Amino acid sequence: MTMTYDNTGAAYDFNTFKDSTAKKLPKRKTEKTAKQADKNKVVSIPQDEIVKIRRRKHNPFKLFIGSAVGLAVTFAVAVIIIGQVQLTELNQQIINKRAQLNNAQSTYTQNQMAIQSNHSTTDIENFAKDKLGMSKAENAQKEFVSLSKGDKAEIAGDANKNFFQKMIDAITGLWS
């Protein structure tokens, strides 16, 4: 028994373990023989039957229902998409209008500040005296009203109201 090293790194010489006197075992059946046995079991179907099996039978009711459901789903998706587009457009319009409103309010505030800075109360009084010939009201021109009896308002109405109109007026008077 010799120990040799080959390129694969094996440390033993396996040729020394081979027994040339051993009996050879019979070979097992291969897959080919099993397949050949299965070929004998194949059942043939006539060509007419194959065509009938392959030809799909369409039920008109099922086709109609399928088409209707498909159209309904397509319609629903289209409505949702159109609604979202309109919603987006309206939101954009709201944003634009709010921006315009903010600009207009800013311009209004600027104009009010400019008016108030240009015209003081003394300037307005002088303009009213000089140009318009107006004067301040004196105590003799002022009328004072006393409301010691309380506030009361009367509405002049038709005296020729019927019973139902008076009832309706009485009921509405309770809530006002």
Across 13-22, 37-46, 82-91, 119-128, the highest mean pLDDT is recorded for: 82-91
**pLDDT at residue 24 greater than cutoff 80:** no
Collapsed DSSP state (helix, strand, coil) of residue 151:
coil
Collapsed DSSP state (helix, strand, coil) of residue 57:
coil
Instruction: Please give the pLDDT value at position 160.
Output: 73
Mean pLDDT of 126-130: 87
- Report the Cα 37 to chain-centroid distance in Å: 65
| Cα separation, 75 vs 81, whole angstroms | 10
pTM above 0.85, yes or no: no
| Cα separation, 90 vs 98, whole angstroms | 12
104: in domain: yes
Tokens of 93: 């319009």
Better-predicted residue by pLDDT, 89 or 51: 89
100: in domain: yes
Mean pLDDT of 143-171: 73
91: in domain: yes
118: in domain: yes
123: in domain: yes
Positive or negative: CA dihedral 112, 116, 118, 121: positive
**pLDDT at residue 140 greater than cutoff 90:** no
Tokens of 57: 């039978």
Domain range enclosing 86: 79-129
Using only C-alpha atoms, the chain has a radius of gyration, in whole angstroms, of 54
Mean pLDDT of 9-23: 64
Please enumerate in sequence order all residues whose Cβ is within 8 A of that of 128, keeping only pairs 6 or more positions apart, or say none: 134
- The confidence band for 50, taking pLDDT boundaries of 50, 70 and 90, is confident
**pLDDT at residue 110 greater than cutoff 80:** yes
- The confidence band for 152, taking pLDDT boundaries of 50, 70 and 90, is low
92: in domain: yes
**pLDDT at residue 39 greater than cutoff 90:** no
How many domains would you assign to the chain? 1
Looking at the chain, the whole-number percentage of residues with pLDDT higher than 90 is 27
Alpha helices in 8-59 (DSSP H): 31-39, 47-54
| Cα separation, 3 vs 15, whole angstroms | 11
What is the 8-class DSSP label of residue 12? S
Rounded to whole angstroms, what are the CA distances from 51 to 6, 43, 59, 60? 65, 17, 18, 21
Mean pLDDT of 24-44: 62
96: in domain: yes
Positive or negative: CA dihedral 43, 49, 54, 57: negative
174: in domain: no
Instruction: Please give the pLDDT value at position 100.
Output: 97
**pLDDT at residue 151 greater than cutoff 60:** yes
Mean pLDDT of 169-175: 77
